């Protein structure tokens, strides 16, 4: 019988079928960070239980740590220092891998894992963080869990879950000029709503997905959770294999040859049946921007804030979003003045993202009224960008150049943009106060954010192309 990629991953990790749709699934690798991982590690130690396989557990310091130069354990977030030090102590006691603040491989957990080869095709991987779905871009079954589930996985290497349904989303055709993976996912969510996948496992497919780089695929899968997916997946191909070759935790020697043979089977079979399918014509996608406080509140950068139909069941939430964002129906998005620009987060902080933004910023200066910040996704990304001279381009343009970390992707009482400031941002969520107290966040691609920073207003990146 023809199988989907998800079915292959599920079957290969099925320990035992339980009652109904529930099953016990084997977990290959576990990721932790200091915001939630410390809770799981502390609870495990308090129960006098051991981590079953410490060598398959990886912990990073990324969420709460400050990203300003010269940083240490002290943070702007109240109690942040305690989170960091507790996590460090617990990780060292448990004997797991720790990418500490000063570690040369430190960074955002969902950036570190792929670039170090921790996530691999055919594996299961969990982390107490909702954007773990990013890593399905490498044909792995990766999903976010809670701290109590993390404790269970640490102790048993298994989790009980109900088997989700499957969905395939086909992005057919080629992307237009200036259109990126970020625009693809925002377009999808705008068309089908933030609840569009209803907890399914999504396989992203089609010509446009095959043409994406691995980093673009990571961006696409990153926001599967914003579509209410259990996780996102992309079949393994030559790009996947080439990307993983030589990475620190990838197989080597004869093990590499065996792994590659297996990885080449990790795709949906011809004739495999999905519970639901969606096909997107990529010719319809333009550079996207959000106007409200949900990723589904998106439209082309050339578009306008939508009018509200009182008969629409979402009219109240749309009105609240427009009031919060300080926008009105029919208002053009392009030209809306901004106060800040942020390039970073597990969605768009990899080297390709920084190169894209730097190409637009090269030889230009950020508008005087805009506070612009770039936070590389990992220390290796930061060092590679500096080796290429990208840091100088950002700094000369007027951006702050930071150490790696989550930074102002989310506001947890630490550093933030100001009250009701309007920000163009490459992050994945634009919820109320996500980047600061009542900060107004417009989600977009690195190209759109860079172009907007230069103009001091939301700007179509296609208008900034150099001759």
Q: Is the model's pLDDT at 439 over the cut of 70?
A: yes
SS (H, E, C) 87-109: HHHHHHHHCCEEECCCCCCCECH
Domains and CATH numbers, the chain: 1-286 (3.30.499.10), 289-464 (3.30.499.10)
Q: What is the pLDDT of residue 310?
A: 86
pLDDT one-digit tens code per residue, 327-370: 999 999 999 999 999 999 999 999 999 999 999 999 999 999 99
Residue 397 to residue 417: CA distance in whole angstroms: 19
Q: Is the model's pLDDT at 102 over the cut of 90?
A: yes
Q: What is the pLDDT of residue 311?
A: 86
Q: What is the mean pLDDT of residues 192-208?
A: 97
Residue 391 to residue 405: CA distance in whole angstroms: 16
Q: Is the model's pLDDT at 465 over the cut of 80?
A: no
Q: What is the pLDDT of residue 410?
A: 87
- Report the percentage of the chain scoring pLDDT > 90: 95
Q: What is the pLDDT of residue 332?
A: 98
Closest-CA residue to 301 (of 290, 316, 315): 290
Residue 82 to residue 394: CA distance in whole angstroms: 33
pLDDT one-digit tens code per residue, 222-237: 999 999 999 999 999 9
Residue 279 to residue 447: CA distance in whole angstroms: 26
Q: What is the mean pLDDT of residues 92-111?
A: 97
323, containing H or E segment: helix 315-325
Burial string for 170-179 (b: 16+ CB within 10 Å, else e) reads bbebebeebb
Burial string for 10-31 (b: 16+ CB within 10 Å, else e) reads beebeeeeeeeeebebbbbbbb
pLDDT one-digit tens code per residue, 372-403: 999 999 999 999 999 999 999 999 999 999 99
Q: What is the pLDDT of residue 466?
A: 62
Q: What is the mean pLDDT of residues 451-463?
A: 98
Q: pLDDT band for 467, please (50, 70, 90 cuts).
A: very low
- Report the percentage of the chain scoring pLDDT > 70: 100
């Amino acid at each position: 019988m023809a199988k989907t990629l998800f079915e292959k991953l599920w079957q290969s990790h099925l320990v035992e079928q339980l009652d109904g749709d529930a099953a016990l699934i084997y977990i290959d690798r576990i990721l932790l960070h200091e915001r939630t991982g410390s809770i799981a590690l502390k609870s495990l130690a308090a129960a006098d239980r051991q981590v079953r396989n410490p060598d398959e557990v990886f912990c990073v310091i990324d969420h709460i740590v400050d990203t300003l130069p010269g940083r240490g354990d002290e943070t702007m977030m109240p109690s942040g220092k305690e989170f960091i030090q507790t996590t460090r102590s617990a990780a060292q006691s448990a004997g797991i891998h720790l990418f500490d603040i000063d570690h040369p491989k430190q960074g955002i957990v969902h950036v570190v894992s792929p670039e170090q080869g921790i996530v691999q095709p055919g594996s299961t991987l969990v982390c107490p963080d909702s954007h773990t779905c990013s890593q399905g871009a490498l044909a792995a079954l990766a999903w976010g869990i809670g701290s109590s589930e993390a404790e269970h996985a640490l102790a048993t290497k298994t989790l009980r879950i109900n088997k989700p349904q499957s969905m395939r989303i086909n992005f057919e055709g080629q992307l237009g000029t200036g259109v990126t993976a970020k625009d693809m996912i925002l377009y999808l969510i705008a068309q089908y709503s933030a609840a569009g996948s209803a907890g399914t496992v999504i396989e992203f497919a089609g010509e446009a997905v095959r043409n994406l780089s691995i980093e673009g695929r990571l961006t696409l899968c990153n926001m599967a959770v914003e579509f209410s997916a259990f996780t996102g997946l992309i079949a393994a191909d030559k790009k996947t294999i080439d990307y993983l070759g030589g990475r620190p935790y990838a197989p080597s020697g004869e093990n590499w040859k065996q792994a590659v043979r297996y990885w080449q089977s990790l795709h949906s079979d011809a004739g495999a049946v999905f519970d639901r399918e969606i096909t997107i014509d990529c010719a319809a996608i333009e550079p996207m921007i959000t106007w409200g406080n949900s990723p589904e509140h998106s439209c082309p950068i050339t578009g306008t804030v939508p009018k509200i139909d009182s008969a629409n069941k979402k009219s109240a939430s749309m009105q609240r979003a427009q009031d919060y964002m300080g926008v009105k129906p029919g208002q053009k998005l392009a030209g809306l003045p901004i106060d800040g620009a942020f390039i970073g987060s597990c969605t768009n902080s990899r080297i390709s993202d920084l190169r894209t933004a730097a190409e637009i910023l090269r030889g230009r200066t950020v508008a005087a009224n805009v506070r612009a910040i770039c936070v590389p996704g990992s220390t290796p990304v930061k060092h590679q960008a500096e080796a290429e001279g990208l840091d100088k381009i950002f700094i000369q343009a007027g951006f702050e150049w930071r150490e790696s970390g989550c930074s102002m992707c989310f506001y947890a009482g630490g550093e933030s943009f100001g009250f009701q400031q309007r920000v163009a941002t490459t992050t994945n969520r634009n919820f109320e106060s996500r980047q600061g107290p009542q900060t107004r966040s417009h989600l977009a691609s690195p190209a759109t954010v860079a172009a907007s920073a230069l103009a001091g207003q939301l700007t179509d990146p296609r208008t900034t192309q150099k001759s």
